[in-house]
Amino acid sequence: MNAGKHILYKGEQLSEEEVQKRSTAFFQFMDKRRSVRFFSEQPVPKVIIENLIKTASSAPSGAHKQPWTFCVISNPSVKSEIRKAAEKEEYLSYNGRMSEEWLDDLKAIGTDWHKPFLERAPYLIIIFKKAYDFNEDGGKSKNYYVNESVGIAAGFLITAIHQAGLATLTHTPSPMNFLEKILNRPKNERAFLLLPVGYPTADATVPDLERKDLEEISVWFE
């Protein structure tokens, strides 16, 4: 069995004090991250978006298959088409598909079926998961742990967006197959997540929410 080529891991060697300092600082930084729905029309250089996607693609994946495609949309007409299709699905969700409990839980967020950010944000990044790939002869090549792999890459991307000083929110209109049609994606790709990306407006607001305490989200076996 060919184990493949391995190279020496070149991770940083840090003191325990520095590790703790970094972990605390990073938590405090990420704790400021919020889902933003009010985007400025201030342009974002393409190189920044490229860097964000490269960061996302550094995520681990099953058998290193990297089963993802990042579609980046800045074309106004395409964004408009996506908004129209998304709002059609969202209207149906808010007016029949969602349970009363779900709608009640959303009241604190203050959302409805209108999604103007899909046109206003300078970029839309849509992550597609690849159920399988194709060999050179056209046959199928299996991918592994696709949902888990793409989910991790999405987390990397959201973190990278925040680190760059930009804003985003996770948008998942259901169903999302209209994205595959609008963007003419191949049959092995399925829409996973839509992220509008840009600078927040100066007067952008977010819900006044609290995160669960550590004791509520963790169980320790010591």
pTM of the model: 0.95
* Tens digits of residue pLDDT in 125-172: 999 999 999 988 888 999 999 999 999 999 999 999 999 999 999 999
**The pLDDT of residue 137:** 86
**What CA–CA distances, in Å, run from 112 to 9, 92, 104, 155, 180?**
48, 11, 12, 25, 24
**Of 8-12, 40-44, 175-179, 183-187, where does mean pLDDT reach its minimum?**
8-12
Residues 6+ apart with CB under 8 A from 211: 31
By the 8 A CB rule, do 153 and 61 touch? yes
